[in-house]
A and B are shown apart, each in its own frame.
Chain A
Amino acid sequence: MTVVLKVEDLWKSYKKNEVLRGVTFSVNEGETKVIIGPSGTGKSTLLRCINLLVRPDKGRIFLDGEEITRPGINEARVRSRIGFVFQHFNLFLHLTALENVMLGLTKVKGMPKEKAEEAAKKALLSVGITEDLWHKYPAQLSGGQKQRVAIARAIAMNPRLILFDEPTSALDPELIGEVLKVMEKLAKEGMTMLVVTHEIGFAMKVADEVMFMDGGRIIERGPPQEVILRPKNERTRRFLSRIWELYDLGVRG
């Protein structure tokens, strides 16, 4: 079993606010791990540390065995091997769907244009973005389409790992399904994924492990059947009961 990502005793504070307090876990090749937890507990900060957008105060992160938190690391090169899917999509607004996917291929990987276009189209098709949408600008796409383009942008770079930060939280309920379906397919195809989400249905179906974060720590972890259906920790239980309420109210399909 190959370890793709290893996070070792990660700490991060903003002034007096201790956001991460000793986070440790790893993700093996082909695994999907899901992080759940109340907002403000450092989930986004954790993902941004892994992507080197935020420097941790303490702790180390390894990608394929290489320490990426060491000083002097080529950050851009590391990031090109890690996909990132944002809550608010963050598609490049001045580029079409196709160009959004091509940019990294041409400017980071140095692919010739025709080859990049071919690869970008393949990635777009794999997330169900068909030819009629390739030349549309982000403002002309629905939220679900935008997020699928964003996933294609990540996939096309052929990353070792994709990080998802609440990829469906900004979507209208009826559009959540199409994005989750793409993510599920991706997981089945063997992509290594670390997903922050409140979609417990997705976690139940896809996750190899669920980690519950609270107050900057992982306070419970295990197979989804255990953490989600039989949480041991009191705070996990309280959080999940609120999530279940939303489910039962039919807010989520």
Chain B
Amino acid sequence: MALTVWDYLPVIFSGITNTLILTLAGVGLGFALGIPMAFAEVLGPRPVQLAIRWVGRVIRGIPLLVLLFIIFFGFPNIGITLPPIPSAILAIGIRSAAYQAQLFRGAVEGVGYGQLEAALSIGLTRWGAFRHVILPQALRLAIPGWVNEFTIVLKDTSLAYAIGVTEVFTQAVHVAQVILDYLTPLLVVAAIYFTITFTASRLAESVYRRVSVPGLGGGAAL
């Protein structure tokens, strides 16, 4: 009796862990790098602003797969050898940073100069104004963009297949090769991606509702 995709479901599911690790670490690294990039681009001295802007442009202009291969296959040439998962996280994180920096910069700018002026006027320092007035508003404005970024990163983790990371897409392809049926395992993996994306969006939506205030991006965002 030939084995069907149902016998292999646990194999596909076992890839979910790595997919989530790549996604969360990638988005997390992107956040950790992207936020300071956004600050430097808004508040830094002119040369720093320009440098950051160009770094962002270049990274956004390179396909993720190319970035991934540069890190995994190219970096050993300069003495940096990373295992597949850290390579994938680094590539995904760097790319996400470039997008998150742009996203957060837009949110900070969206808060508007009037809010900064008012904050300074009551006697807050620049840092105080940022901390108590600009940041809380910018974070709210950025939430829909972040949800979007999360779903993009989630889907892009499938590229880690190319360097042999056993994430959920890789597992689906392996199963397909064994049972000689590509369609069903790929539909299964598509359903998995969709489910995670959908759940995350719903979750984010409820968070968004909870933190949104009238006049600051209330209502449905997703």
Which A residues lie at the B interface, using CB under 8 A? 51, 53, 75-77, 79-84, 86, 88, 90-94, 103-104, 107-108, 137-140, 153-154, 157
Contact call A90/B117, Cβ cutoff below 8 A = yes
Q: List 11 A-B contacts (CB under 8 A).
A: A77-B123, A79-B123, A80-B123, A82-B121, A94-B140, A104-B123, A108-B128, A137-B213, A137-B215, A137-B216, A157-B122
Cβ–Cβ < 8 Å partners of A90 in chain B = 114-115, 117-118
Chain A residue nearest to B211 (CB atoms) is: A94
B176 at the interface (CB under 8 A from A): no
B9 at the interface (CB under 8 A from A): no
B106-142: CB near A (< 8 Å → 1, else 0) gives 0000000011011111111100100011001100100
> Complex: how many Å from CA A235 to CA B72?
74
B214 at the interface (CB under 8 A from A): yes
Cβ–Cβ < 8 Å partners of A53 in chain B = 117, 120-121
Interface of B is mostly: helix
> Complex: how many Å from CA A75 to CA B125?
8
Which B residues lie at the A interface, using CB under 8 A? 114-115, 117-125, 128, 132-133, 136-137, 140, 213-216
Contact call A93/B216, Cβ cutoff below 8 A = yes
Contact of A92 (CB < 8 Å), options: B115, B123, B125, B128: B115
Contact call A139/B124, Cβ cutoff below 8 A = no
Contact of B124 (CB < 8 Å), options: A81, A88, A91, A104: A104
Contact call A108/B124, Cβ cutoff below 8 A = yes
Cβ–Cβ < 8 Å partners of A103 in chain B = 122, 124, 132-133
Chain B residue nearest to A150 (CB atoms) is: B118
Cβ–Cβ < 8 Å partners of A91 in chain B = 118
Contact of A76 (CB < 8 Å), options: B115, B123, B133: B123
Smallest beta-carbon distance A169→chain B, Å: 14
Cβ–Cβ < 8 Å partners of B136 in chain A = 94
Cβ–Cβ < 8 Å partners of A88 in chain B = 114
Smallest beta-carbon distance A79→chain B, Å: 5
Q: Which 5 A-B pairs have the closest CB atoms?
A: A139-B215, A80-B123, A104-B122, A90-B118, A84-B121
> Complex: how many Å from CA A86 to CA B125?
19
> Complex: how many Å from CA A252 to CA B216?
32
- Apart from the given pairs A88-B114, A94-B137, A108-B124, 19 other A-B contacts in the complex at a CB distance below 8 Å: A51-B121, A76-B125, A79-B121, A82-B121, A84-B121, A86-B118, A90-B115, A91-B118, A92-B118, A92-B133, A93-B216, A94-B140, A108-B122, A137-B213, A137-B215, A138-B215, A140-B214, A140-B215, A157-B123
> Complex: how many Å from CA A93 to CA B115?
8
Smallest beta-carbon distance A95→chain B, Å: 8
Contact call A92/B119, Cβ cutoff below 8 A = yes
Tell me whether A108 and B120 are in contact in the complex, defined as CB-CB below 8 angstroms, given that A94-B213, A103-B132, A139-B215 are known contacts.
Answer: no
Smallest beta-carbon distance A58→chain B, Å: 23
Cβ–Cβ < 8 Å partners of A104 in chain B = 122-124
Smallest beta-carbon distance A104→chain B, Å: 4
> Complex: how many Å from CA A157 to CA B117?
16
Of the candidates B121, B124, B214, B215, the one having the most CB atoms from chain A within 10 angstroms of its own CB is B121
> Complex: how many Å from CA A93 to CA B114?
11
> Complex: how many Å from CA A75 to CA B133?
18
Contact call B121/A93, Cβ cutoff below 8 A = no
Smallest beta-carbon distance B63→chain A, Å: 38
Contact of B214 (CB < 8 Å), options: A81, A82, A86, A139: A139
> Complex: how many Å from CA A5 to CA B132?
29
Chain B residue nearest to A87 (CB atoms) is: B114
